[in-house]
Structure 1
Amino acid sequence: MTKKFVDNLPELEKNFALKAPHLKEEMQQCLELIEVFLDKKGRDEFDIQDLNKTFRLPNKLKAVLFLFVEELTREGFLHKNRNVYHINRNRKTAQEPKGSVGKISIHPSGFGFVSLKEYDVFIPKHLILNAMDQDTVEVEVLSLEGRNKKGPEGRVTNVVKRSKASVIGTIVEIKPGSLRVRVSLQGESQLFCVPMPTSPVEIGDRILLEVHSLRNQLHLIFEKKIGSIFDPLSDLEAVKEEYVLPKQFPQAAIDEANAFGSEIILSQHKDRVDHTNLFTVTIDPKTAKDFDDALSIERTTKGYKLYVHVADASYYVKKGSHLDQEAILRKNSTYLVGTCIPMLPHVLADNLCSLKEGVARLAVTVEMHMDKKGNLTSHKIYRSIINSNHRLSYEDAFEIMHSKDKTFLHDQLQLMRELALHLKAIKHERGSVDLSLSELVWRLGDDGIPSGFEISHYDITHQLVEEFMLKANEVIATELKNKEVALIYRVHEPPSPETMMEFKNFCVKLGVLVPEQFGSKELAKVFEAHRESAFISELSSRYIRSMRLATYSTDAIGHHGLMLENYTHFTSPIRRYVDIIIHRLIFNESYSQEELDEIAQNSSEKERHSARAEMSYLTLKKMRYISRKFDKEPQRTYKATITRVKPFGIVFEVKDFGLEGFLHISKLGEDYFEFHPKKEKITGKRSQLTFEIGYQFIVQVESVNLLFQEISWKMGPKGA
Structure 2
Amino acid sequence: MYRNNFRKQGTNGGKPVGKKDDFNKRNKSSRRVGDYVEGKVQGSGKGFAFLIPSDGGEDLFIAARDLFGAIHGDDVVAKVTGTRRGGGECEVLKVLKRNVTDVVGVFDGFGVGSIERGLGTVKVEFTGGVKAQKGDKVVAKIMDGSPVRCKITEVLGKEGDTLADIMGVIRSYKLREDFPAAVIKETAAIPDEVTDAEEKGRRDFRDDIVVTVDGATSKDFDDAISVVKKPNGYRLFVHIADVAEYVKENTPLDREAIERGTSVYFADRVLPMLPEKLSNGICSLNEGVDRLAMSCVMDFDGEGNIVSHEICEGVIRSKARMTYDWVESIFAGEDEAIRRADEKNVAIVPMLTAAKELAELLMKKRAARGSVEFDIEESEIVMGENGKVLDVRKRARLFSHKLIEEFMLAANETVAEHFATRKAPFVYRVHEVPPLEKVESLNDYLAAFGLSVPDKPAPEDYARLIESLDESVKGAVNRVALRSMSKAEYKPECLGHFGLAAEYYCHFTSPIRRYPDLAIHRIIKYFLRGGADAKKKFGAFVSEASVKSSEREKIAEEAERKVDDLLKAKFMQDKIGEKYTAVVSGVTEWGLFCELDNSVEGMIRVETLGNNFKYDEKRMLLGNGVRAFRMGDSVKIRVEAVNYDRVSFVLDEDESKR
Q: TM-score, normalised by structure 1?
A: 0.76
Q: Output the CA distance in 1 between the equivalents of 2:162 and 2:96.
A: 36
Answering whether residue 7 of structure 2 is matched by residue 22 of structure 1, we say: yes
Q: Deviations over 1:16-52 (max 9, x none)?
A: 6x757535489xxxxxxxxxxxxxxxxxxxxxxxxxx
User: AA paired with 2:654?
Assistant: K
Partner of 1:548 in structure 2? 486
2:105 to 169, 186, 189: 169
Relative to structure 1, the CA distance from residue 619 to residue 194 in structure 2 (aligned partners, 3 Å threshold; closer, same or farther) is same
Contact 1:112 1:122 (8 Å CA) reproduced: no
User: AA paired with 2:259?
Assistant: L
2:315 to 385, 391, 399: 385
How far apart are residue 79 of structure 1 and its match?
8.8
Answering whether residue 577 of structure 2 is matched by residue 635 of structure 1, we say: yes
Partner of 1:711 in structure 2? 647
Contact 1:139 1:157 (8 Å CA) reproduced: yes
**SS of alignment partner, residue 382 of structure 1:** strand
Partner of 1:533 in structure 2? 471
Answering whether residue 607 of structure 2 is matched by residue 666 of structure 1, we say: yes
Partner of 1:210 in structure 2? 141
**SS of alignment partner, residue 505 of structure 1:** helix
Q: Output the CA distance in 2 between the equivalents of 1:404 and 1:285.
A: 19
Partner of 2:496 in structure 1? 558
Relative to structure 1, the CA distance from residue 369 to residue 710 in structure 2 (aligned partners, 3 Å threshold; closer, same or farther) is closer
1:425 to 342, 360, 364: 364
How far apart are residue 701 of structure 1 and its match?
1.8
1:364 to 294, 306, 315: 294
Partner of 2:14 in structure 1? none
Tell me which moved more, 303-312 or 200-209. 200-209
Relative to structure 1, the CA distance from residue 431 to residue 122 in structure 2 (aligned partners, 3 Å threshold; closer, same or farther) is farther
Contact 1:642 1:650 (8 Å CA) reproduced: yes
Partner of 2:16 in structure 1? none
Q: Output the CA distance in 1 between the equivalents of 2:299 and 2:374.
A: 28
Q: Output the CA distance in 1 between the equivalents of 2:42 and 2:244.
A: 30
2:405 to 466, 480, 493: 466
Relative to structure 1, the CA distance from residue 344 to residue 220 in structure 2 (aligned partners, 3 Å threshold; closer, same or farther) is same
Contact 2:453 2:462 (8 Å CA) reproduced: no
Partner of 1:626 in structure 2? 572
Partner of 1:476 in structure 2? 415
**SS of alignment partner, residue 587 of structure 1:** helix
**SS of alignment partner, residue 682 of structure 1:** strand
User: AA paired with 2:169?
Assistant: V
Q: Output the CA distance in 1 between the equivalents of 2:296 and 2:490.
A: 22
Partner of 1:55 in structure 2? none
Answering whether residue 571 of structure 2 is matched by residue 586 of structure 1, we say: no
Relative to structure 1, the CA distance from residue 538 to residue 22 in structure 2 (aligned partners, 3 Å threshold; closer, same or farther) is farther
Partner of 1:646 in structure 2? 588
Partner of 1:596 in structure 2? 542
Relative to structure 1, the CA distance from residue 439 to residue 258 in structure 2 (aligned partners, 3 Å threshold; closer, same or farther) is same
**SS of alignment partner, residue 639 of structure 2:** strand
How far apart are residue 618 of structure 1 and its match?
1.7
Contact 1:111 1:124 (8 Å CA) reproduced: no
Relative to structure 1, the CA distance from residue 280 to residue 170 in structure 2 (aligned partners, 3 Å threshold; closer, same or farther) is same
Contact 1:123 1:156 (8 Å CA) reproduced: no
Structure 1, unaligned runs of 5 or more: 1-11, 27-72, 81-85, 115-119, 141-146, 148-154
Matches within 5 A, 1:124-139: 126=60, 130=70
Relative to structure 1, the CA distance from residue 371 to residue 189 in structure 2 (aligned partners, 3 Å threshold; closer, same or farther) is same
Q: Deviations over 1:257-288 (max 9, x none)?
A: 23233222456513211111100111112221
Q: Deviations over 1:435-480 (max 9, x none)?
A: 1122112122211121114432223211121111111111111111
How far apart are residue 319 of structure 1 and its match?
1.2
Tell me which moved more, 498-507 or 327-336. 498-507
Contact 1:131 1:137 (8 Å CA) reproduced: no
Q: Output the CA distance in 1 between the equivalents of 2:296 and 2:403.
A: 16
1:701 to 639, 642, 649: 639
Relative to structure 1, the CA distance from residue 719 to residue 600 in structure 2 (aligned partners, 3 Å threshold; closer, same or farther) is closer
Look at both structures and tell me which one has the larger radius of gyration over its CA atoms. Answer: 1
**SS of alignment partner, residue 385 of structure 2:** coil
1:324 to 246, 249, 254: 254
Relative to structure 1, the CA distance from residue 436 to residue 613 in structure 2 (aligned partners, 3 Å threshold; closer, same or farther) is same
Relative to structure 1, the CA distance from residue 639 to residue 608 in structure 2 (aligned partners, 3 Å threshold; closer, same or farther) is same
Relative to structure 1, the CA distance from residue 626 to residue 438 in structure 2 (aligned partners, 3 Å threshold; closer, same or farther) is same
Tell me which moved more, 592-601 or 122-131. 122-131
Contact 2:25 2:55 (8 Å CA) reproduced: no
Tell me which moved more, 587-596 or 485-494. 587-596
Relative to structure 1, the CA distance from residue 236 to residue 664 in structure 2 (aligned partners, 3 Å threshold; closer, same or farther) is closer
Relative to structure 1, the CA distance from residue 604 to residue 218 in structure 2 (aligned partners, 3 Å threshold; closer, same or farther) is farther
Contact 2:441 2:618 (8 Å CA) reproduced: no
Contact 1:183 1:192 (8 Å CA) reproduced: yes
How far apart are residue 575 of structure 1 and its match?
0.7
How far apart are residue 551 of structure 1 and its match?
1.0
Answering whether residue 386 of structure 2 is matched by residue 447 of structure 1, we say: yes
Partner of 1:64 in structure 2? none
Q: Deviations over 1:329-360 (max 9, x none)?
A: 21211112211111111011011111111211
Percent identical pairs in the alignment equals 29
Contact 1:111 1:123 (8 Å CA) reproduced: no
Q: Deviations over 1:165-220 (max 9, x none)?
A: 3121223x44xxx32x32244x64633344456765444322222224569x7543
How far apart are residue 324 of structure 1 and its match?
1.4
Relative to structure 1, the CA distance from residue 483 to residue 87 in structure 2 (aligned partners, 3 Å threshold; closer, same or farther) is closer
Partner of 2:15 in structure 1? none
Contact 1:437 1:457 (8 Å CA) reproduced: no
Contact 2:453 2:465 (8 Å CA) reproduced: no
Partner of 1:257 in structure 2? 187
1:296 to 194, 213, 226: 226
**SS of alignment partner, residue 474 of structure 1:** helix
1:605 to 548, 551, 555: 551
Partner of 2:629 in structure 1? 691
Answering whether residue 210 of structure 2 is matched by residue 225 of structure 1, we say: no
Contact 2:265 2:271 (8 Å CA) reproduced: yes
Tell me the C-alpha RMSD between the 2 structures.
Answer: 3.7
Partner of 2:437 in structure 1? 498
Structure 2, unaligned runs of 5 or more: 12-21, 44-48, 80-85
Contact 1:204 1:230 (8 Å CA) reproduced: no
Q: When the two structures are aligned, how many residues end up with a matched partner?
A: 607
Tell me which moved more, 288-297 or 477-486. 477-486
How far apart are residue 403 of structure 1 and its match?
1.1
Q: Output the CA distance in 1 between the equivalents of 2:157 and 2:451.
A: 53
User: AA paired with 2:141?
Assistant: E
Tell me which moved more, 537-546 or 298-307. 537-546
Q: Deviations over 1:212-260 (max 9, x none)?
A: 4569x75434334332222222234322221111121123322322323
Q: Output the CA distance in 2 between the equivalents of 1:139 and 1:659.
A: 40
How far apart are residue 379 of structure 1 and its match?
0.5
